[in-house]
Structure 1
Amino acid sequence: MSSPPVTSPSASLLAPYPPSALRDALGPAADAGARLACFHCGLPVTDTEPLAAELDGSRRVFCCGGCQALAQTLYAPGFAHLYGDEARFARPIDDDARREAEPIWAAYDTPELRAQFVRPLDSGRAEITLAPENIRCAACAWLIEQHLSRQPGVESAVANVATRRVVVRWRDGAQTVAGLLAALAGIGYMAWPFEVSRTDQQDRRARRGLLMRMAVAMLGMMQVMMYAWPIYTHEATIDPGQLQLMRWASFALTLPVVFYAASPIFAGAWRSLRQRHMGMDVPVAIGIGAGFAASALATVRGVGEVYFDSVTMFVAFLLLARYLELRVRQASRSGAEMLARQLPATCERLVATGEAGERVPVARLRAGDLIRVKAGEIVPADGAVVAGASELDESMLTGESRPVRRAAGETVLAGSFNTASPLELRITRVGAGTRLAEIVAVLDRALAEKPRLATLADRVAGWFVATLLGLAALTGLVWGLWIDPSRALLVTIAVLVVSCPCALSLATPAALAAAGAALSRRGVLLTRGHALETLARVTDVVLDKTGTLTEGRFAVAAVEPLADADRTRCQALATAMERGGEHPIARALVAAAQGNSGMSLQVSDMRNVPGQGLEAIVDGQRLRLGRADFVAALAPDSGQAPDTWRSDADHPGATVVWLGAPAGPLARFVLADVERTQTPQLLVRLRELGVRCHLVSGDHAEAVHWWASHFGIACVAGAVTPEGKRDYVARLQQGGAVVLAVGDGINDAPVLAQAQVSIAIGSGAPLAQAGADAVLTHGGVAEIATALAVSRRTRRVVRQNLGWAFFYNVVAIPLAATGLVTAWMAGIGMSLSSLLVVANAWRLLRAGKPRHKGV
């Protein structure tokens, strides 16, 4: 679906700063007015003998020594470009924008929003993360840090250019959130609080902890192998004292690997034993523990084999696989969290219609409240229009690609984007009662019903582990009672080490990691571990239309001049009238004009009639642009027959926009959604893979059937609600189909969650991505077919890896049990087996090379 722009609490404040007469102080070549402006900040210079400095051969004046020092400091390392026309910074926002922003800033100091954005620290301190809108480079970060650090009560300010975030800590009683935002605005940076959720913090802690353990294991493995290799190759020629020293060194290096890096493995094994469940951690922990204990004992006694290299290698490989699995799990997010990020944090609440309002947190809204939603803002709750008329983009909720007109008495939904004019709304439903929340509830239910393939894997693993431990115990018993009691422990350890399910445990994760890395290079990010396995079994693909197979935006499909009018002139007139407009039709007309932007035409007396069109005087001629009846009313005596004002288009779903003058119609513009460039390629490749395609959309049924015919898709359904899409997929599943769902709007979230596997278009709603198993980060939809092909190849590699792992165990365990394979040989065999599995899996990386330019 077409996505409305993601806006801050007040999108109207984010426009570029207006030009000022004091914009540049350019030295002798400038006029007298410019010489009285500070080169750095643009403020007036009142001194009769102002401070001045030579920068790049030009004389610059400054209002104070601080601005002079800062400008010289920035010029020295090569940041002079920051003073260009496009990148000039450190200039306060204009007074009108500041007056509009101040009530919003104050709202962030209310208890509701402080609890959401401000993190309390010890000793009466607080921390907040801010997101400046126009931070560009290291110089911007440096300026922000320096300026915020000088504010009362601020202890530290750290700006990150890569993430465009600023973390500020201050003494809570000495500073406010509004004060921090105002301080940034004072140097030209409009900023808003950024919510760092508890889930994000937990995810970062988990990643950091596992990365530290993996780093320790990797370093330990490399160092221990430095000592193990000479022992394997030249043990007979090494002095016994040197040999023992290398063993003690290996012992010391293995200690942190076992007791720190491998601690999650032992913890998992202990939990499994307490729950009487034989998980894969149990034999792993026994093998690591037994190998380390036997090696430590041999080191202390000075005789026997040591397996420190096998222990460290095993831990390092296992932690690497677990880290990759962790990143996949953390990529998904709950629907509730995405809902909170979809809606604005504040809104303007009114006492009575037509009066000025106050900015309050959305959390304070109650049914019956009166609010105003300006153009460019998102509706915070469900309500009815009391005053005003506008057009709202509801594509994220309903699937309708075109903005819909809403006037007095009509209902608007939370999450809709107001594209045209201010509206006054009477709130009817808030929070969990809104339509948006209902869609989220459907999403959560569908996620709960998703099949859990891990149950079968755990059951198989349990049998494998139980069998493995039984064989090891039987081997120890036989050797201890009948064969050679002195070798019983070593043979038992050899069985455990050689059969340690390293290759088995890496067989699937290694292949999934390689395939995931390959697909990520193609722009397909997997967010759930089962995605590849399920993609390999897909039989049906359910596709959304707007925003998936099509761009989800208007484009001019045809320009038809009338009454001998000039095509280029008509485009220039329409562009001049729509210049600066945010409506999708306005953007389409301006984009179609290309170089003919109509900038030279004089436009005056502009009037916007919501739902009808525009009227203005362009170069002295009164024109109208919009609906046929609206434009025709300008020329009642033109003599044009009613049939002349026809609104037929090439296909259902297209929109006809008229341009007319008092003398009659000048031109008609046909606007329609456009297909993505890779859509034909996607459909061809899906048919080659033998899957059946379905087009299911919430758009008008006539338009959906036209597009289905255009694409050659036989299975089609239009005007389908989010619940209806989910039911459509459920019916396919009842017939035995394995369904892949592809979409991008919030209304697609239930169907994405219901399907066995799903892909969300990354340009769409975050909530849709929350319910998807994979995200396509660009518009190259042909990569969806690539994901299916790679998944089938991955399935073959996984089967090969599992086959090799079982074959290795079937051969190696009897050899170890009979004493023909010693523990050190078992360690080498285990490592080689693991490396073979990994090498086979990483062949999948070759699929990451794009097949087509621009993908």
Structure 2
Amino acid sequence: MPSTPSLEESTERDVELAVDGMTCAACAVRVERKLNKLEGVTASVNYATARASVSASPEADDDTLTGTVEKAGYQAEVIRPFVAEEPRQHATDRTRDLWRRLVVAVLLFIPLADLSILFTVLPQARFTGWQWVLVALALPVAGWAAWPFHRTAFVNARHGSSSMDTLVSIGVLAASLWSLYSTFSGNGAPAGISGLGLLLNSQGAAYLEVAAGVTTFVLAGRYFEARAQRKAGDALHALAELSAKSATVLLDDGSQHEVPVERLRVGQRFVTRPGGTIATDGRVVEGRSAVDRSSMTGESVPVEAAVGDEVVGGTTVTNGWLVTEATRVGRDTRLAGMVRLVEEAQTGKAAVQRLADRISAYFVPAVLVLAVLTFGGWFLAAGSVEESFTAALSVLIIACPCALGLATPTALMAASGRGARLGIFLKGYQALESTRDVDTVVLDKTGTVTSGEMSLVDVACGEGVDRARVLRLVGSLEEASEHAVATAISAAARAELGELDRVESFDNEPGLGAVGVVDGCEVLAGRAKLFDERGLTVPPELERQRGEWEQQGRTTVVVGCDGAVLAVLALADLVRPSAERAVHRLHRLGLRTTLLTGDNAATGRAVATEVGVGEAIAEVLPGEKVEVVRRLQAEGSRVAFVGDGVNDAPALAAADLGLAVGAGADVAINAADLILVRQDLTVVPDGIELARGTLRTIRGNLVWAFGYNLAAIPLAVLGLLNPLIAGAAMALSSGFVVSNSLRLRRFSSGTDRQG
């Protein structure tokens, strides 16, 4: 039965809203504040993803939530779970609109700037009505192309608020109106004669090309920003698109019927043919095939799936066909959970980003006041309206806080999208912050460093005894048992010899072994104590081998037939092939490693030595794992715990950084900070490297965003910054933050870099 997420037991419900019309971090803060004023509502709004993640009581219905956003001056609609097409379409439409306006702005601004320079350098080139030519070129840019800025500024003003668009709109309108006033009143310089003179910040300039230039630069910044944000979110869309659209259900009478995947129910059987996508999570009941899981886990080699194996919805059957019984559907599937994890990660905010958002909310009004003071100060000092207007206009344009709002979310979007492709899922900014100080990695042995399944690794036969005969006898006997050791022995014998013989008079000896008749021979298999109780002696050479294997931490089984000891078998929970490479890379990252196991000290030491772990803590009961983590923390260590089972959940939650590896249990996944879905253990250092790289990128973004404003605003106040250059610099600032974040999309596995 699929486990029920604990969130579903709560009376609260989670709602995702697509919010349209936000243009800067201040907008996101305003929407967030309005939603949080509703009783029983907790909301977080992300400007970069244009989404609001809302936890609401039943009283706050969808209409109430969307209505609240609309009253704040924006549009909103509820996103259906795991349907990525709607918000993606919004982003596509916005990008196209920005592109159209940008093309018009560029086509008109270039001749406007050229003519302005020409008329400035060569006054004799002017002709009757030349001013009207410049006005005709400028007004469509300052009006139609800049309309999104004016519209948003007007809506904000109607609600008594302001945003980045308020600054842009006021700057563009002020420059345009001043130029028109100069043209029709005859005061100041003729309209448009700013070109080269304005670039040199000379006096007597009017500002038609400033209005057009600022509009063009800001539109260009917005367009490339929107494209980059859409690219950063493409991985989420691609992940959601992995799901099958329909399933071929196998009915009780053997007939097949195709249904939409949403109609699949737990317990139903469905068929997947070669090249088809597995419709939902399930257990194979018939057939055999290699399954390509690369799109979900980053594994390059397909994994064999046969009867009894678990398969994951969204993966592809390559060379066979499978009949699968659905075990999870809808929101409970692994794919849905992965999409949910990426969405949650992309809506996260760092503490410093929340501070930046709060600053942005007050920043715009402060800039408006500063622009007025700058104008007044320059007018009192110089007595020139031209100089005063230039300085104030530069302040309005350069101070736009767009980069502040993009610093964290764009990096999280890029990192979470790339991580999903590599089988790494970041659960928000907290996971990134935790990786910064971690110095010790505690690895749970069973199921994490090892496969968690017993395997036959060696056979020592007595003198003159045939190995094949031993395997046939003991394999046939153990096939009647359900014990993990017996299952491993029978599987190894079947793989080497094919069909086994039928066992008769089978009798299980709890805690000791089993006895039965195979091919007329009474076969005995189990611990040495079982043979001692029956007065049978293990030959010295076999006894010596048994002792050596047990010192190495292996499990031994003695095999006898008709009163004679034939052989000793060695079994082990095999270490994953990737474990040694993973530990080596963790050490290269400067991390200390510790192995945690419930096995005896000899087994713990043997496994630790094999993979290169520095310390082994053995004979730890499941409930004691969390105590080990807390003890290490009490000693001053910052601990990352890597585990996969139900009994690992307390330790994952208690650790400074919890990493759930492989398929994992639901409770372990809920407790972890990073979910690592590949079975390859090198995903552990990959996850830590990705998290640390993302954290560095976010910090670099914030340093740039804050530093840019702190450095540029004083230059504008002092009159040292041209408005055109201010517009270009503001657009480039946002572009830098977004492009810096997009570098995370090129993050590659350490194994790939080494190979």
Whether TM exceeds 0.5 here: the answer is yes
SS of the residue corresponding to residue 504 of structure 2 reads strand
Aligned residue runs from structure 1 range 550-561, under 5 A: 550-561=450-461
Aligned to 1:317: 225
Structure 1 residue aligned with 2:145, among 221, 227, 250? 250
CA RMSD of aligned residues (A): 4.8
Q: Report the alpha carbon displacement of residue 642 of structure 1 after superposing the two structures with TM.
A: 11
Say if 1:475 and 1:764 are closer, same or farther in 2 by CA, change over 3 A. same
Structure 1 residue aligned with 2:88, among 201, 207, 211? 211
Q: Any stretches of 5+ residues in structure 2 without a counterpart?
A: 10-77, 116-132, 181-207, 240-281, 284-347
Q: Report the alpha carbon displacement of residue 812 of structure 1 after superposing the two structures with TM.
A: 2.5
Which deviations, in whole Å up to 9, do the C-alpha atoms of 1:227-264 show, x marking residues without a partner?
A: 222233222567755654566553567799x59xx99x
Aligned to 1:841: 741
- The answer as to whether partners of 2:449 and 2:579 remain within 8 angstroms in 1 is yes
Asked if residue 738 in structure 1 is aligned to residue 628 in structure 2, the reply is no
Structure 1 residue aligned with 2:370, among 474, 484, 497? 474
Structure 1 residue aligned with 2:521, among 621, 624, 646? 621
Say if 1:232 and 1:251 are closer, same or farther in 2 by CA, change over 3 A. closer
Say if 1:777 and 1:580 are closer, same or farther in 2 by CA, change over 3 A. farther
Say if 1:233 and 1:322 are closer, same or farther in 2 by CA, change over 3 A. closer
Say if 1:591 and 1:822 are closer, same or farther in 2 by CA, change over 3 A. farther
Whole-angstrom distance in 2 between the partners of 1:795 and 1:718: 35
Q: Any stretches of 5+ residues in structure 1 without a counterpart?
A: 1-6, 10-114, 117-200, 274-281, 332-375, 378-451
Asked if residue 223 in structure 1 is aligned to residue 104 in structure 2, the reply is no
Q: Report the alpha carbon displacement of residue 222 of structure 1 after superposing the two structures with TM.
A: 1.9
Whole-angstrom distance in 2 between the partners of 1:501 and 1:207: 29
Q: Report the alpha carbon displacement of residue 747 of structure 1 after superposing the two structures with TM.
A: 1.6
Q: Report the alpha carbon displacement of residue 766 of structure 1 after superposing the two structures with TM.
A: 2.2
Structure 1 residue aligned with 2:664, among 742, 764, 776? 764
- The answer as to whether partners of 2:109 and 2:138 remain within 8 angstroms in 1 is no
- The answer as to whether partners of 2:443 and 2:642 remain within 8 angstroms in 1 is yes
Q: Report the alpha carbon displacement of residue 770 of structure 1 after superposing the two structures with TM.
A: 1.4
Q: Report the alpha carbon displacement of residue 547 of structure 1 after superposing the two structures with TM.
A: 1.6
Whole-angstrom distance in 1 between the partners of 2:2 and 2:638: 40
Say if 1:205 and 1:842 are closer, same or farther in 2 by CA, change over 3 A. closer
Whole-angstrom distance in 1 between the partners of 2:537 and 2:692: 66
Aligned to 1:343: none
Aligned residue runs from structure 1 range 217-296, under 5 A: 217-235=94-112, 241=136, 244-245=139-140, 249-250=144-145, 258=152, 286-292=163-169
Aligned to 1:603: 502
Matched AA of 2:739: A
Matched AA of 1:250: A
Matched AA of 2:672: A
Whole-angstrom distance in 2 between the partners of 1:702 and 1:709: 11
Whole-angstrom distance in 1 between the partners of 2:110 and 2:562: 98
Aligned to 2:620: 720
Matched AA of 1:470: A
Q: Report the alpha carbon displacement of residue 554 of structure 1 after superposing the two structures with TM.
A: 0.8
- The answer as to whether partners of 1:217 and 1:312 remain within 8 angstroms in 2 is no
Q: Report the alpha carbon displacement of residue 225 of structure 1 after superposing the two structures with TM.
A: 1.5
Matched AA of 2:374: V
- The answer as to whether partners of 1:520 and 1:848 remain within 8 angstroms in 2 is no
Identify which range, 562-571 or 500-509, moves more after superposition.
Answer: 500-509
- The answer as to whether partners of 2:426 and 2:675 remain within 8 angstroms in 1 is yes
SS of the residue corresponding to residue 763 of structure 1 reads coil
- The answer as to whether partners of 1:632 and 1:660 remain within 8 angstroms in 2 is no
Identify which range, 239-248 or 621-630, moves more after superposition.
Answer: 239-248
Identity, % of aligned positions: 28
Whole-angstrom distance in 2 between the partners of 1:505 and 1:813: 18
- The answer as to whether partners of 1:559 and 1:668 remain within 8 angstroms in 2 is yes
Q: Report the alpha carbon displacement of residue 694 of structure 1 after superposing the two structures with TM.
A: 2.1
- The answer as to whether partners of 1:576 and 1:597 remain within 8 angstroms in 2 is no
Whole-angstrom distance in 2 between the partners of 1:717 and 1:764: 22
Matched AA of 1:686: L
Matched AA of 1:224: R
Identify which range, 470-479 or 512-521, moves more after superposition.
Answer: 512-521
- The answer as to whether partners of 1:632 and 1:645 remain within 8 angstroms in 2 is no
Say if 1:525 and 1:811 are closer, same or farther in 2 by CA, change over 3 A. same
Say if 1:302 and 1:245 are closer, same or farther in 2 by CA, change over 3 A. farther
Which deviations, in whole Å up to 9, do the C-alpha atoms of 1:252-308 show, x marking residues without a partner?
A: 67799x59xx99xx89x99xx9xxxxxxxx8xx511244346657989999552565
Aligned to 2:318: none
Asked if residue 682 in structure 1 is aligned to residue 582 in structure 2, the reply is yes
Whole-angstrom distance in 2 between the partners of 1:205 and 1:315: 27
Say if 1:491 and 1:321 are closer, same or farther in 2 by CA, change over 3 A. farther
Whole-angstrom distance in 1 between the partners of 2:177 and 2:482: 78
SS of the residue corresponding to residue 664 of structure 2 reads coil
Aligned residue runs from structure 1 range 16-35, under 5 A: none
Whole-angstrom distance in 2 between the partners of 1:300 and 1:568: 97
- The answer as to whether partners of 2:525 and 2:557 remain within 8 angstroms in 1 is yes
Aligned to 1:564: 464
Aligned residue runs from structure 1 range 407-426, under 5 A: none
Say if 1:756 and 1:603 are closer, same or farther in 2 by CA, change over 3 A. same
Identify which range, 622-631 or 299-308, moves more after superposition.
Answer: 299-308
Q: Report the alpha carbon displacement of residue 327 of structure 1 after superposing the two structures with TM.
A: 9.4
Aligned residue runs from structure 1 range 386-405, under 5 A: none
Whole-angstrom distance in 2 between the partners of 1:297 and 1:209: 38
- The answer as to whether partners of 2:453 and 2:573 remain within 8 angstroms in 1 is yes
- The answer as to whether partners of 2:363 and 2:401 remain within 8 angstroms in 1 is no
SS of the residue corresponding to residue 103 of structure 2 reads helix
SS of the residue corresponding to residue 751 of structure 2 reads coil
SS of the residue corresponding to residue 672 of structure 2 reads coil
Whole-angstrom distance in 2 between the partners of 1:760 and 1:490: 57
- The answer as to whether partners of 1:211 and 1:323 remain within 8 angstroms in 2 is no
SS of the residue corresponding to residue 609 of structure 1 reads strand
Aligned to 1:148: none
Q: Report the alpha carbon displacement of residue 567 of structure 1 after superposing the two structures with TM.
A: 1.0
Structure (1/2) with the larger helix percentage: 2
Which deviations, in whole Å up to 9, do the C-alpha atoms of 1:721-756 show, x marking residues without a partner?
A: 555433333343344433222111122112222222
Identify which range, 743-752 or 511-520, moves more after superposition.
Answer: 511-520
Whole-angstrom distance in 2 between the partners of 1:793 and 1:508: 13
Matched AA of 2:735: L
SS of the residue corresponding to residue 679 of structure 2 reads coil
Q: Report the alpha carbon displacement of residue 768 of structure 1 after superposing the two structures with TM.
A: 0.9
Whole-angstrom distance in 1 between the partners of 2:349 and 2:629: 20
SS of the residue corresponding to residue 732 of structure 1 reads helix
Whole-angstrom distance in 1 between the partners of 2:435 and 2:442: 13
Whole-angstrom distance in 1 between the partners of 2:2 and 2:614: 42
Whole-angstrom distance in 2 between the partners of 1:699 and 1:811: 61
Whole-angstrom distance in 1 between the partners of 2:485 and 2:688: 36
Q: With structure 1 as the length reference, what TM-score do the two structures score? A: 0.51
Which deviations, in whole Å up to 9, do the C-alpha atoms of 1:341-397 show, x marking residues without a partner?
A: xxxxxxxxxxxxxxxxxxxxxxxxxxxxxxxxxxx99xxxxxxxxxxxxxxxxxxxx
Say if 1:658 and 1:202 are closer, same or farther in 2 by CA, change over 3 A. farther
Say if 1:722 and 1:638 are closer, same or farther in 2 by CA, change over 3 A. closer
Structure 2 residue aligned with 1:782, among 677, 682, 703? 682
Whole-angstrom distance in 1 between the partners of 2:645 and 2:102: 52
Q: Report the alpha carbon displacement of residue 769 of structure 1 after superposing the two structures with TM.
A: 1.5
